[in-house]
Amino acid sequence: MPSPARFLALAALFVSARAALVPPGHQGSPNQPVDVSEADAPTTDSNAIVQTLGQVDQKSSPPHDAPPSADVPPTTVTAIDGSLTNATVSTVAGSSSDTTPSTRKRRNLGRLGKRTSGFKKVFDGLPAGQHDASIQGTAYLTYTVVPNSTYNVQACLDWCTQRVDGCVFVNLFYEYNNYLLDFVFSEKSNLKCAAYGDVHNATEKLNFGGQSSYPQVGSEPVPLTYITQSSGYAADSLVDPDTPDGYDLVFGPTGGANNAPGYMGFAFLDKYDVNACAQLCNGRGVDPLGGGCSYFNIWRAVVKGVPTTYSCAMYYLVADESTAVNYGQGDLVVTMSRGYARKNLVIDGGFEGYTACDDFCFTESYSNWIGTSSKGGSLDASIFHFQPYAHFGSGVALLGAAFGDDSLSGTLTPAKPLATDKGANYVVQVFFISSFSSQALEGPAKVDILWNGKRVGGTSGFVGSYTFSQSDTVVGTGKDVLSFVGGAAPAWTFVDDVKVFKV
């Protein structure tokens, strides 16, 4: 314990330090300047995407030993940030429940687009009696068998349109010497109808069979499977996939992928699935500079005319079509590129709507935010237009008396209640910094995040650089009130980039 003399000396230093402070309202300089800007944000690593694309192989066709009419499996992640994998979306996204398109055949999967009833022939099969090959391609969904008394094209198309959501292409072919088709499966048909979530062409007829299916009897040779009359039919038109819940479509489809700032990494999917990409964005985790994922760009990679994979690139800054300038390189062509922004229910969460000056100004309230002082306080909550105080941009909010006239707390809240969906889950994401004063003076700093008056998160103590904070999961009522309460000058806290996302 310090001696009385030592205690008095420390107290004198504390008073001296406080007296020397120039408060934010007088355009004082932070004790620890903010050293972050959007210029520091990383941009899309297109080279890593292309290099990984050269390693991944997600092309397939109906297995010779699988029963027909199996459920469509969940979307799979085949690569993540350059490393090959084979995992469900929920595993990669860290979700406790798999909300990706799954085994329910009738569910809208949001891939290339819903197929219409009209189909056109893409390629013919070879004449009967000649060995042919089936499609070995991306986005394989499932297969069935149709009656083989005739070459039953219509039954195959009807099954695709009526039973398999996401089906935009079918490959119809006979498979001979398949013991399971001939004697085990109840349908007793060898006319296979394979469904795909992408359109393929004759150059992808690469599965010639050649498997041993019949049981070995003595030393007799076992016949190998072979394929004949393999034809392909594609939907004659596609429509846009449904926009994922909690997102807005920003652009697309176009032939350019984003080359944009705020890049957080990428994943390859085994199908063009916007819902799966949204779930990966939601569960991406936190970038220390920019926070959570706010935007994704999904696109199809076509190499030498053949669909190869489906890329999902994630960002903490929202991009737009002006940066969709990556059209591919070499044999790679970007197709079906769409951008989706996560809906932020907070209007002007970055306080950029306050522009009453060119350089330095502040206010207690403006059209999008309201600052309220404690009784007897003055400017205990305020909004500044001043780039040196802000996380990104020039707008930022301050809790604590702007001129240092009192040490009372203030309350900052959006001007309108949030337009939430009743019963839906949300999180509040925000950046805090409490380092305008010295570490000793900022020690008592404290801000609470309140959801309808109940504390769900916050920050406390000295925070030396802008630091991301996320609330507990909250439940919407339809008109929820978000507020930030705190500040006690000279223990000031700046608040910036406020977001409320559905989860």
Residue 85 parent element (H or E) = strand 83-88
Residues 6+ apart with CB under 8 A from 221: none
Supply the range of the domain harboring residue 491.
Answer: 347-502
Give the residue-averaged pLDDT of 368-378: 97
**pLDDT at 14 (0 to 100):** 43
Q: How far apart are the first and last CA of the chain?
A: 49
- Same domain? 353 vs 231: no
Residue 100 scores a pLDDT above 50: no
pLDDT band at 419 (very low <50, low <70, confident <90, very high): very high
Is the pLDDT at 101 greater than 80? The verdict is no
In a domain, residue 303? The reply is no
Q: What confidence tier does 38 reach under pLDDT thresholds 50, 70, 90?
A: confident
6 located within any domain? no
User: How many separate domains does the chain show?
Assistant: 2
Residue 8 pLDDT exceeds 50: no
Question: Is the N-terminal amide bond of 63 cis, ω within 30° of 0?
Answer: no
Residue 49 lies in a domain: no
- Which positions ≥6 away from 149 have C-beta within 8 Å? none
Looking at the chain, the whole-number percentage of residues with pLDDT higher than 70 is: 92
Last residue of a domain, one of 175, 207, 235: 235
Has residue 315 been placed in a domain?
no
- pLDDT of 316-356, one tens digit each? 999 999 999 999 988 999 999 999 999 999 999 999 999 99
Kindly state whether residue 52 falls inside one of the protein's structural domains: no
* End position of a domain, from candidates 235, 251, 274: 235
How many Å apart are CA 457 and CA 470, to the nearest integer? 7
One-letter identity of residue 299: W
Which amino acid is residue 350, in one-letter code?
Answer: G
**Is the residue at 95 inside a domain?**
no
Taking 70 as the threshold, does the pLDDT of residue 272 lie above it?
A: yes
> What pLDDT band is residue 39 in, cutting at 50, 70 and 90?
confident
Domain of 492: which CATH number? Answer: 2.60.120.260
Secondary structure class of 486 (helix, strand, coil): strand
pLDDT by residue (tens digit) across 125-178? Answer: 999 999 999 999 999 999 999 999 999 999 999 999 999 999 999 999 999 999
Q: Provide the 3-class DSSP secondary structure of residue 81.
A: coil
Give me 414's structure tokens: 């959006």
Q: Is the pLDDT of residue 264 over 90?
A: yes
Identify whether residues 373 and 494 lie together within a single domain.
yes
Question: Is there a domain that residue 379 lies in?
Answer: yes
pLDDT digits (tens, 9 = 90+) for 186-244: 999 999 999 999 999 999 999 999 999 888 888 888 899 999 999 999 998 887 899 99
Last residue within a domain, chosen from 186, 211, 235: 235
Does 321 map to a domain?
Answer: no
Nearest CA to 498 out of 421, 392, 405 is that of: 392
- Taking 50 as the threshold, does the pLDDT of residue 10 lie above it? no
Arithmetic mean of pLDDT, 94-121: 51
> Are the C-beta atoms of residues 120 and 168 closer than 8 Å to each other?
no
What's the CA gap between 88 and 244, in Å, rounded?
Answer: 18
Confidence (pLDDT) at 111: 47
SS3 content of the chain, % helix, strand, coil (to 5): 15, 35, 50
Mean pLDDT confidence for 291-295 = 96
